[in-house]
Amino acid sequence: MNFEEKIDKSKLPQHIAIIMDGNGRWAKAKGQPRVMGHRAGVKTVRRITEACAKIGVKYLTLYAFSTENWNRPAFEVNALMRLLVETLNKEVKVLNKNKIQLQTIGDLSKLPSRSRKAMEKAIEDTANNNRMRLTLALNYSGRWEITEAARTLAQKAKNGELDPKDINDDLFAAALTTHDMPDPELLIRTSGETRLSNYLLWQLAYSEFYFTPLNWPDFMEEDLHEAIYIYQNRERRFGKTSEQIK
């Protein structure tokens, strides 16, 4: 039996977050330039987005570019920004056909204006789709987001619009870029690395982590199904004892 058949459709994670990693190593292993790995990675984005929508996942959030990725060679950063524009222009039709809404989290103001405009247009063009939301984390980092939220709340307190005593979990979460999404139940990272690299630090507080040695361009629909199956067979205790859960 394949993993897709083993998945319990009534217990799907609503929200899956993915750290798409290993494009460069995938290309290097083939004797190709890193950018070819990013091109192959785009195909995986399409494949996994469609697979998530098909199975009934409601939110898919992909780490596409971190605030730290600006430190890569300019050539690679430029290639990634161009690839983003090219991909968005091409994929909007497919997103609309599949009723997938596009969103973004991160500081878009720092992107080259062509990339930012392509992103804004794609968001607008897919705004009415309601089958699944695909969020691209672009120029994103968890610490940036938490710092921004703290600044927003501090400003409100200073203006007298907020009593600091009222700040709690929910109020803080409402100030984050993900305010209108549930927290991811499942985080997947490809390429064998087992770190968060500044991704969704607040939101992943109680998520199940799934690491695979596969590089992102090699990550197939069946691998996604395996990750979901393994997630479904974990016991999520949230601080309780095993006996309390059963």
Binding segment toward ligand IPE, per CB under 6 A, in 53-61, 62-70, 101-109, 126-134? 62-70
**Interface residue with ligand IPE, options 120, 124, 193, 222 (CB under 6 A):** 193
**Interface residue with ligand IPE, options 14, 25, 112, 162 (CB under 6 A):** 25
Burial state string for 38-56 with b = 16 or more CB within 10 A and e = fewer than 16: bbbbbebbeebbbbbbebe
**Interface residue with Mg ion, options 15, 17, 21, 140 (CB under 5 A):** 21
Bridge partners for 246 per DSSP: none
Active-site hit among 2, 23, 69, 130: 69
- Per the annotation, the verdict on 223 as an active-site residue is no
What distance in Å separates the CA atoms of residue 194 and residue 211, rounded to the nearest whole number?
A: 7
Of 49, 111, 187, 16, the C-alpha closest to 41 is 49
Chain position carrying tokens 């120029």: 139
Active-site hit among 2, 21, 139, 233: 21
Residues 74-93 that bind ligand IPE (CB under 6 A): 80
Task: Choose from ligand IPE, Mg ion, none: what does 65 bind? Cβ within 5-8 Å by kind.
Answer: ligand IPE
Please answer whether residues 36 and 27 qualify as being in contact, where contact means their C-beta atoms are separated by less than 8 angstroms.
yes
3-state secondary structure of 14: coil
Q: Which residues bind ligand IPE (CB under 6 A)?
A: 19-25, 63-66, 69, 80, 191, 193, 195, 197
